[in-house]
Every structure is written in C-alpha cells, then in structure tokens.
A and B are shown apart, each in its own frame.
Chain A
Amino acid sequence: MNPMTDLGLRFVRRPGPGGRAANLAALGATAIVALLVSFLIAGSLGLTHRSDRIGWRNTDDGEPKTAVGAVNEVHDMVAGEPVNRVDLAINNPKRDGELPPPPGLSHAPKPGEVFVSPELAKRWSEDLRTRYKLEQPTGIISDAGLSSPDELIVIRGVAKDSPGVAQSDHPRYLDTWRGNAMDSRMAMLLALVAFGIALVLFPLLSLVGQAAGVAAKRREHRLAALRLAGATRRQVLWLSAVEQAVLGFLGAIAGLIGYVVLSPLIARIPLGGGRWYLHDLTPSWWVTLIVLVAVPVLSVISALIGLGRVSITPLGVVRGQTRKSTSALRLVLLVIGPIMLAVLGTGGAVLPLVIGIGIAALAVRVVGPWAVQVIGKFLARTAKGPVVLLAGRRLADDPKGAFRPVAALVLSGFVTGFLALFMPYGLTQDGKDVSFQLYTNQGQTAVVAEDARKRLSEAGFKGEVTTGDQSVSISVSTTERERLRTVLYDVVPSQVPLTDAERDKQDAGVFMDMRLGVALLLGLVFVTGAASTAAGAVGTALDQAAPAKALRRSGVPLQVIERSARLAAVVPVVAVGLPVVGFGALCGLALSGGQVVTRGSSGVILLLGQVVVGVVLVAVAGAAGAPVLRKASAG
C-alpha cells in the first residue's frame, strides 16, 4: 500500500487528542446529510412509484375511439369515511379479449363488477351491497393498484354509455394503464419535495463542507509536521483525501443505515392518502450507490478545497488572507439547481414557485450575512461584559460562517411567516352537515325531488326535500345516514348524495397532506439547521482551542467562551430570523390585500411553534462545541 494511504488510514483510527470528537462531529454531520439525501431521493421516488400505480385513474390522454377505457371519479362515503369510487368503462378498441387489466386488478372489470381495496373490503356492508348491487366484491385490488395500504377505493365496471362515462358526460379517456400522467395528490407532494430541496440543497452542501472542514482543522498541525518530515504537498493532500474519504464513506453508510432503520417509521406518516408501502421508501441499489459515492466524493472535494485555501508549510498552516467570497458559480448553481430539479422532477409545474423561492433564498443569503455583521458590530460596540463582546466580534468577523447554518431556517421562516397570514387555497372547512345536496341540470329538479320523496317514503324515512335553482336538498336528521344515502343512491345518476360538510371532508385529505408536508419540510429544515449549527460550533471550538487553553490557564473561566459561543449561534436566528418572519408576514398581507386570509389561528400557531423550536434547537446545537472546546483546551 502507498505509505501515505496507510498513514491516512492510521490517522482515522488514531485521530489524536480532540481529534476523535472532531471526527465524530464530521461523521455525524455527514451521516445526517446522507440520511436527508436518502430521504429526499427515496421519498420522491416513492411518490412516483405510488403515482405510477394509480396515475391511470386521472389520466386523460386518449381519444374516445381508441382509448382502452373511460373513467369517471365519484366521491362516495362509507361509514362516515370518504371513499373514492372509480367508474370504469372498458373500451377495448381492438376487441381482442387479451386486454391487460388495470394495475392491481385480476381482470378488466365488466359492467357490474366491483373491485375494492383490502381496507374497503373490511368495511363491506349491507349498504354497499345495496349500492353496488353485489353480494360480495368481485375482487380485491392488490398492492400493485394501490397508492397506500390504507386506501379506501372502489373500482366499478360500468357500461360504456352509462352516466358519467358516456361521451356526452366528458369522462377521462386513457390510452394505456401505464400513462405518464401523475396522480394530482402525489404531484402536489412532489412539488413540496422540490420546495424542500430548494430550501435545503445548499445548506446540505455546505454542511458537507463544514463536516469536512471540522475534520480538516484537527489535521492541519499534523500535516505541517509531515511537511517538516519531508512529505510533499501532494502526499499531504493525498493523505487528507484518504482520511476524508474514509470518514465520508463511514458517514454515508451510517446515514443510509439510519434511513433504512427510520423508514418503517417514515412509512407510517399518513401522507398522500395513507401510510406508505415500505417498499416504496426502500432505497433502490442505485440510490444507495449514489449516496455512497456522492457523499464521500463531495466531502473529499470540500476537504481538498478547504486545504487548498491554506498553504501547509513545514512551519505550520498559513491561512490565506482573503476570505472566500461567494463565487459566481455558487450563485448560478443556487438559481439553476432548483430550477433543474423542478423541471426534471415535476415537469415544470412548480417552476414559478421554485424560481420565487430561489430568488428569495438568494436575497436572504446576500442580506443575511450583512445583517449579521451589522448586528455583530453593534453588539461588540455596546457590550459591557466579555461574553457579549466576544460574541459580537465573532459575528462581525465571520458573518457568512455565522449565518450559513441558519440560512435555511430563516428562509423557511419567511415562508411560514407568509403562509401564517396568507393561505390562498381557501382552507375553510365550514360546509353544513344538515342536508344532502344534489346538483342537477336545469329543469330536472322537480323530477329528482319527486323521485327522492318516493324513495324516502318507501324506506320509511321522514325527510324534507326542497328544491333550489339547480339543486335538491334532502334533510338528513336521522341516525341512519348511510342507509339514507343508500336509499337515495343514484337518484341523480353517477352522483352520490353528500352533505356540504362531507364534500369538504373529501378535500380534507389534500389539506392534511399540505399541513403534514409543511411540517415535514420544517423538520427537514430544522435538522439541517441544527446539524449545521453544531458542526459550525465544533469548528469554532477547534479554532479557539489554543487561545481558550491560554485563557483558562490565565484564570478566565471557560464558561465565558462557551456562553459567547451560544450567544453567537442564537443571534443570527433571532436577530435576522424574526425580522424575516415579519417580512414574510407582511408580504402575505400585501398579497391578500391587508386582511388575514387564514381562518383561525393555525397559521400563527405554526409560525410561533417554528420560531420557538428553531431558536431552542439552534441554542442546543450551538452548545455542541462546548465538550469539544473543554477537551481541546484542557490542561
């Protein structure tokens, strides 16, 4: 083996005093990056897997003549739970009995046949028997045709000219069961993922850099010693690359294992209509490969770039005078990266949103460090005690470094500040639950009402039936609501009697997806921010180890330095984050014309929760340097 390779491996095993803590910090940060990257990739692939299986249900890409089927989706209700009913008319244009069935079905459903998901099969009842005119379901839909094991769905075969799928009713026509249309819910979630990637892509990349930097700092004096012993610069760099590759690889493995261990828990998150199939979240071999290769390669590159900035001479590590400025390349990547992801990942549907976030991210990245510097100078100038003085000087000295860990946090604060006061989707769920509302064509209300009254009296219900312009309401003051629904089933063809509140409930899943998605997004941002803050704190601790040692010996308690480190970690979130949150809220207000659009306090609670959790997390993570500093400055 190359002696430098050998030495590099030896250094991983025996990192020297304080080096173990630094290596652990680097490894932990790398593992978190690997975990989050695995989560983002495997999660978005999982969404596409789910969408692949159910996308046909809302595909509309065929011609009536050539389509394999016509689809009409109907909201149904079973025992108070929303059910998705898919009426499917098989077209089979070639009339070749060999038509493959839709995913998850044993055969293409003939008119009158009903396939149900396992969860719905459990709820099979007298009402469903009556509604679908079947003693037992024709078949159970297998996993291959379901988005989630929790899904409540009915796929019902209907005749080609029946209501809802007849050409005059404009059903969806599809050319193949494996079309490329996305399920709309999965598409929305994918948009959220793209949003998340736009938020944390750069924080994650810089976290890799920080992790590499932390390990490298510990290494510098040793590298100088090696140069003194006659090693060339190349050899020293090679040794660092070996060391960092091992650390990066171990971190990637740890992160992947962490993801695999956590994935059963992740699979329980009821996103997109229910829990996940674990296999949707399991990283494929090539995702594994990407993580195992990309993470170590990125960390080696970061470490070498970091070492490239200093010249390692036999007399020690001489730091370059120029502070690295944000390179144009990074700025371009910052804009191009998320756009590419949006285009590739979602076919450009969320492009404007992602571009918007990209620009906001850019603004925060430019303004944030500047604000941190101003605040740092202010603190340093007005400080009365040593803690504030030291924290202020540190912020003013390296505002970029201080702001980097909390950039994503601050940016997400802008988004939640915005959403807290402005959620344009009419998240109102205030439909009344007193009567079924049936919608009819003009002039048909009387016929429908008459039919309804007849059915009610035959079944022994006393319900009030009133007609509106194009609607019929039937009061539901009964404890037997499902039976009432069954009685009134198909009184308007292909329309299930639902109250307004029940219609809201059909949409509630989408709003829950949004809330959960936003919560997950914030979690992602928090974890990234915390890991980055911790890595930064460890790096600072290592930087300050020597002077801290001298100060401790001179009788300055370590707590002074520790407290200033914590303060320096929290100030950027509080002093920049809070105004940014306020600015986000202002933008929300401006867009909504000065009124609070969200009903209730959910947005404000979300915002407050985020601010509190964010500040606490950063304060805790900022203390991560303390044990390292204590060890490295001991004696």
Chain B
Amino acid sequence: MSFQRPHTTQPSPHAPQNQSQSQPFHPQHPQAQPFPGHPQQPNPQGIPHQGTVLTGRGLVKYYGDVVGLAGVDVTVQAGEALAVMGPSGNGKTTLLHVLAGILTPDQGEVWLGGERVDQLGDAARTVLRRRRLGFVFQDNQLLAELPADENVALPLMVDGVSRREAIGRARNMLAQVGLSAEVSRRPGELSGGQAQRVAIARALVGEPQAVFADEPTGALDAATGAQVIDLLVGAATHRGAAVVVVTHDDAVAARCHRVVRIVDGRVSER
C-alpha cells in the first residue's frame, strides 16, 4: 500500500484556525496562496500527527463481488478541505461513507482524532456521527415540517441538549451562514442554495471534528454552488474541522485545499 500524494490543483484559501467561534463568519474568497504543511502523513507507528483529524488506511470495501474500494489511503488535517473527485461509480461515495462511519470497511483502518473508529459497533458509530461529525448531502435532507432553526437544532436535541440552548445555537449558526432572516422558514420556502446553507448549519452546529459532503452542489447552479462550497469550506475550516467533499465539479474542487482522484476504487496518481 502506498500513501497517496495529494496535489493542490488550484489556488486555495488559507484556512484560519482557532478563531473565536462566537464571531459571525464571513465567507472568504479564495486566495492565491498555497495551503501550508502539505503533504501530511501519519507517522509509521499509526498515530496520526497532531494536526491530522482523519486518517483512512488501506481501505477496502466490497459490495458482494463489486469492488467499492480497492485499498485507499487518505488523511485530512484539521482545518483542511479535501476534494474527492473521479468518474461516476468509482468509489467516491463509498470512501466518504467508510471514512464517516456510515459503512465499515472490509479491510483497513479509520482513525478520527487519534482514535480508531472503524471497529466500533453500530450504536457507537451512530453516536460518533452525531457528536463528532457533520454531514451535507445533495438534496432533500431537511424535514419539511420543521422550520430552519428546528431542523438545525434537531441533532442537538436528540443528543439531549435543552431546547432553548439547541435553538439558540441553531439560530447563531444560521446567522453565520447568512440566514438570520430565514430561521423560521420551512424548507419548502427556501431556495436550493438556502436549503444547502441550512444543511451546512446543521452539519456544523455540533462543533464536529470533520464534515463530510457528498455532491453538496449537485442540485445547484454554478454560481450558487460556488457560494455554498465557499461557505462550507470556510465555515468548517474556520472552526478547525476537517472537510471531505465529494464532487465531480472542478470549480468546487478548486475551492478546496487539496484534491484526490478515485478511479476504480483506488487513489489515482494521474
């Protein structure tokens, strides 16, 4: 197995780390400045570097006879956004699901912040996803009956956070994604881009260590997609979270710090 060689394709934004989280976030524009500290690799003893949040090592996943992943190594640093690209049906979603504990790998290891998580049971992975990870999907992820703030607050409330606090944090988060005026609107009353920003707020409201997004701009037009991805990458990395974005859109990948290509279930060296 070989560690992948990440390559930065486009100018990437610098991700400011560890700023005060109570400040409203202002989306940043990409700057022509290379992301520092790449490539980063886990050390040979298997303990990720201090800045490394997420590590996948030798990941293999089968769907019956179909090979989903054929041995993938990947690391993501705190505050770093990684774009996963590649042709359709080649294992991008599978990789994301394995890294995020939605699927368990058939071989290989997944480490989250110095803790091995791929061997956890279903219940423990559910809690892990809720407490330590955040998710954004392509569309249809908000409950139609709930207004935006309650959609964002729901995972917190499931976790036992009091309603008052959960709603407060949700509104604060919605303000940071520029939706202060829309907190009481239901998904049906939001545009596609706004709905994705609500989803981003929901992904971030639990202060996750890593945020996973599968084609988050797939249902949006290019301009809206660019705004949404900037917001996601900016807001997440701003908080020091690692970000993994699956996309087939070069413009989206360009707004991340680093890109890996997955072809036939492997990291492509091309």
Contact = CB atoms under 8 A, between A and B. Distances in A.
Contact of B146 (A319, A390, A555, A557): A390
Residue with the highest number of chain B CB atoms closer than 10 Å, among A319, A389, A390, A555: A555
A172 interface: no
Contact of A386 (B133, B142, B158, B203): B158
Given A384-B162, A553-B102, A557-B126, A389 B157 contact: yes
Interface residues of A, number: 25
Interface stretch (A46-54, A293-301, A544-552): A544-552
Interface string B136-170: 01011111111000100011011000110000000
A319 B144 CA distance: 12
Contacts of B141: 546-547, 549-551
Contacts of B150: 389, 393
Contact of A397 (B137, B144, B154): B144
A608 B155 CA distance: 39
A584 B138 CA distance: 51
A17 to B, nearest CB: 15
A385 interface: yes
Given A393-B145, A553-B129, A557-B126, A386 B157 contact: yes
B127 A555 contact: yes
B137 A389 contact: no
Contacts of B137: 550, 553
A547 B195 CA distance: 12
B203 A554 contact: yes
Contacts of B155: 551, 554-556
A543 interface: yes
Given A547-B141, A550-B137, A385 B157 contact: yes
A547 B134 contact: no
B111 interface: no
Interface string B51-84: 0000000000000000000000000000000000
B128 interface: yes
B66 to A, nearest CB: 15
Nearest to A544: B143
Contacts of A553: 97, 100, 102, 129, 135, 137
A546 B141 CA distance: 6
Interface string A358-388: 0000000000000000000000000111100
B143 A554 contact: no
A549 B140 CA distance: 9
A574 B163 CA distance: 26
A394 interface: yes
Interface in B196-220: 199, 202-203
Given A383-B163, A390-B143, A546-B140, A555 B129 contact: yes
A389 B158 contact: no
Interface in A320-345: 321
Contacts of B248: none
Contacts of A321: 188
A560 interface: yes
Nearest to A396: B145
A543 B158 contact: no
B144 A554 contact: no
A288 B158 CA distance: 52
Contacts of A386: 154, 157-158
A542 to B, nearest CB: 12
Given A383-B163, A546-B141, A555 B126 contact: yes
Contacts of A319: 188
A544 B154 CA distance: 15
Contacts of A390: 143, 145-146, 154
B243 to A, nearest CB: 15
Given A546-B141, A555-B128, A555-B129, A560 B158 contact: yes
B168 to A, nearest CB: 15
Residue with the highest number of chain A CB atoms closer than 10 Å, among B125, B127, B157, B163: B157
Contacts of B129: 553-555
A554 B130 contact: yes
A550 B140 contact: yes
B135 A554 contact: yes
Interface in A414-438: none
Interface in A499-558: 543-544, 546-547, 549-551, 553-557
B140 A556 contact: no
A88 to B, nearest CB: 69
Nearest to A556: B158
Contacts of A396: 145
A553 B199 CA distance: 13
A389 B150 CA distance: 9
Contacts of B140: 546-547, 550
Interface string B24-57: 0000000000000000000000000000000000
A381 to B, nearest CB: 10
B131 interface: yes
A560 B100 CA distance: 21
25 contacts: A319-B188, A385-B157, A386-B154, A389-B154, A389-B157, A389-B163, A390-B143, A390-B145, A393-B143, A394-B145, A396-B145, A544-B144, A546-B139, A546-B141, A547-B142, A547-B144, A551-B141, A553-B100, A553-B129, A553-B135, A554-B130, A555-B125, A555-B131, A557-B126, A557-B158
Interface of A: 319, 321, 383-386, 389-390, 393-394, 396-397, 543-544, 546-547, 549-551, 553-557, 560
List 7 A-B pairs, minimum CB-CB distance, nearest first. A555-B130, A555-B129, A550-B141, A546-B140, A393-B145, A386-B157, A397-B145
